[in-house]
Amino acid sequence: MILRDRVAIVTGAGSGIGRAGAQTMAREGAHVVVADINLANAEETVELIAEAGGSAESLVVDVTDDRALQTGIADTAARLGRIDILHNHAGAQVSGNLEQVAIDGFDKSWSLNVRAHFMAARFVMPIMKEAGKGVILNTSSSSGVLYDREMIAYTTTKHAVIAMTRQMAGDYAKFGVRVNALCPGWVDTPFNEPFIAQMGGRDAIESYIAEKVPLRRWADVSEIAEPILFLVSDRSSYMTGQILVVDGGETVV
């Protein structure tokens, strides 16, 4: 098991890609702190990991609450003695173009998709620096490489995550801390409901994917979990400041 005895915090791990990534890390020996704003979802992820023979615990936290986030990370480090991996995954889609998007929606998107990643990384960095090693993985999106029509809040934040990732990586490589970003494409989870609604429903999005994605299908969460494992493990030990796009080929069309 390639993550044996490591401690990982995964935000947004109560469902979807976050859950799949947490399960995969636990399968490979990590003790996973399942951080999510929803207690029931977090506990379900923990139960699934335990049923598979893995080790996990829940951390109910609103990642946009600086004090709660800092306390949760500090308590985890104090109890477990280390934090080896931080996967910043919690995020939100907010639809609308420049004139349509709700201002509070834009602010929410920025706070959750960018600022919370920044703050969580800020809180774990002293712990990783002291250890002389650590891995931070930020979730961006194929929308951080491309541009989704009429999704200005989402694309703006996901581009920002890539810039922030590269800046962090350059600043902290000398301390043995690696920072990379994951850019998933179309993954069939409820997370996509705002864009699906904007596109006109399920039939419309299926047609869109068949036309725009060379593999002509959605990804399953398991197909994103394996790249996550690669990025947070020693399999990518000489990789930092990089952006891994897992999108069925959409960005090369």
The whole-angstrom separation of Cα 136 and Cα 41 is 23
Counting as low any pLDDT under 50, the low residues of the chain are: none
The residues that are catalytic are 154
Query: What's the pTM?
Result: 0.95
Bridge partners, 177 (sequence order): 134
Sign of CA dihedral 202, 205, 209, 211: positive
pLDDT digits (tens, 9 = 90+) for 18-31: 999 999 999 999 99
Q: What is the pLDDT of residue 253?
A: 65
| Distance from the Cα of residue 53 to its chain's centroid | 24
The whole-angstrom separation of Cα 13 and Cα 208 is 28
Q: What is the pLDDT of residue 192?
A: 73
Q: What is the pLDDT of residue 11?
A: 98
Do residues 234 and 2 make contact, with C-beta atoms less than 8 angstroms apart?
yes
Q: What is the pLDDT of residue 202?
A: 80
Q: What is the pLDDT of residue 89?
A: 98
Q: Which fold has domain 7-189+220-247?
A: Rossmann fold (3.40.50)
The whole-angstrom separation of Cα 97 and Cα 27 is 41
* Burial profile 6-26: b = 16 or more Cβ within 10 angstroms, e = fewer: bbbbbbbbbbbbbbbbbbbbb
Q: What is the pLDDT of residue 137?
A: 98
What is the SS3 assignment for 137?
A: strand
pLDDT digits (tens, 9 = 90+) for 108-165: 999 999 999 999 999 999 999 999 999 999 999 999 998 877 889 999 999 999 999 9
The whole-angstrom separation of Cα 222 and Cα 225 is 5
